[in-house]
């Protein structure tokens, strides 16, 4: 089995300005240092708003912190007349490692289709970023379907169309009904869909590559439910919203094995 280092990713959404971001990342690093956290065993990344990324980059590189960072979105275009957009190229120039693509809030509030997500995955890869493609069903879709996993799997298939052979990607399964609602999917529900995602990855990319791709679960992950979710064989980390804004909560999630 390929080794998949667990990834704990904090999606800050539209919270924290650059000063708050610096204070937070510094304190998170101290907290994890005090706890003797081994970053080679569990990787940590934060996803701040665009305006914070330059500050986080400076802090992380100056203090040689092992905390990674990503953006919450990127443009499908590299440059040009796209007012308000931020390109993957600019993010790469700031050493940004990851970028979320197709978070359900982008899909719902900004009408991002699977085709747009596919173009953003391609743009991220073109500039050496690792896209974290988010997929997941709404409650309505889950209730109307006799195969709830098929919805996330269909989004995955479209989002990964024409994926380059050597691409490094991360998938995040986030049932929309569990995001910010306090309603966490049961470990079994999360595993069922994450397993279906891995089976589809194997069909698309081959068994060996599929075995090396990290699949995160997201949706009301908290210190008290993370361990049971992480016990599932096809879940390799968590995408954490609300609880990633609190140092104690997020560091406990990172240290879920303790």
Q: Is 70 flagged in the annotation as binding?
A: no
11 annotated as belonging to a binding site for a ligand: yes
130: number of Cβ within 10 Å: 19
Closest to ligand PEP by CB, 124 or 205: 124
Q: How far apart are CA 161 and CA 89, in angstroms?
A: 21
Residue 18 annotated in active site? no
Count of other CB atoms within 10 angstroms of residue 168: 15
- The Cα–Cα gap between 221 and 172 comes to 13
Q: Is 37 a catalytic residue?
A: no
Chosen residue from 6, 48, 70, 241 binding ligand PEP by CB under 6 A: 241
Which of 105, 112, 137, 174 does the annotation list as catalytic? 174
13 is in an annotated binding site: yes
**From candidates 52, 174, 232, 236, binder to ligand PEP by CB under 6 A:** 174
- Which positions ≥6 away from 2 have C-beta within 8 Å? 208, 211, 212
HSE-CB at 73 with a 13 A cutoff on CA atoms is 19
Q: Which residue from 171, 198, 184, 178 is spatially nearest to 227, judged by alpha carbons?
A: 184
State yes or no: residue 159 binds ligand PEP (CB under 6 A). no
Stretch that binds ligand PEP, among 28-36, 80-88, 144-152, 238-246 (CB under 6 A): 238-246
Give me the residue whose beta carbon is nearest to ligand PEP. 241
Binding site for ligand PEP (CB under 6 A): 11, 13, 174, 179-180, 218-221, 239-243
List the catalytic residues.
103, 174
């Amino acid at each position: 089995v390929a080794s998949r280092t667990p990834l704990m990713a904090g999606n800050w959404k539209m919270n924290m300005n650059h000063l708050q971001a610096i204070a937070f990342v510094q304190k998170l690093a101290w907290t994890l240092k005090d706890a003797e956290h081994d970053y080679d065993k569990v990787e940590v990344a934060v996803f701040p708003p665009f305006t914070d990324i330059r500050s986080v980059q400076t802090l992380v590189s100056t203090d040689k912190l092992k905390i990674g960072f990503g953006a919450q979105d990127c443009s499908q275009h590299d440059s040009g007349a796209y007012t308000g957009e931020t390109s993957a190229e600019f993010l790469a120039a700031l050493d940004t490692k990851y970028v979320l693509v197709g978070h359900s809030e982008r899909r719902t509030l900004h009408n991002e289709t699977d085709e747009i997500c596919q173009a953003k995955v391609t743009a991220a890869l073109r500039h050496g970023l690792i896209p974290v493609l988010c997929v997941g069903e709404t409650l309505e879709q889950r209730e109307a379907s006799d195969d709830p996993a098929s919805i996330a799997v269909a989004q995955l298939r479209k989002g990964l169309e024409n994926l380059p052979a050597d691409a490094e990607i991360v998938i995040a399964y986030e049932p929309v009904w569990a995001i910010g609602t306090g309603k966490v999917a049961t470990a079994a529900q999360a595993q069922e869909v994450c397993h279906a995602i891995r089976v589809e990855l194997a069909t698309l990319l081959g068994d060996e590559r599929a075995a090396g791709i990290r699949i995160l679960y997201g949706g009301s992950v908290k210190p008290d439910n993370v361990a049971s979710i992480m016990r599932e064989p096809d879940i390799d980390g968590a995408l954490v919203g609300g609880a990633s804004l609190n140092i104690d909560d997020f560091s406990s999630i990172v240290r879920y094995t303790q």
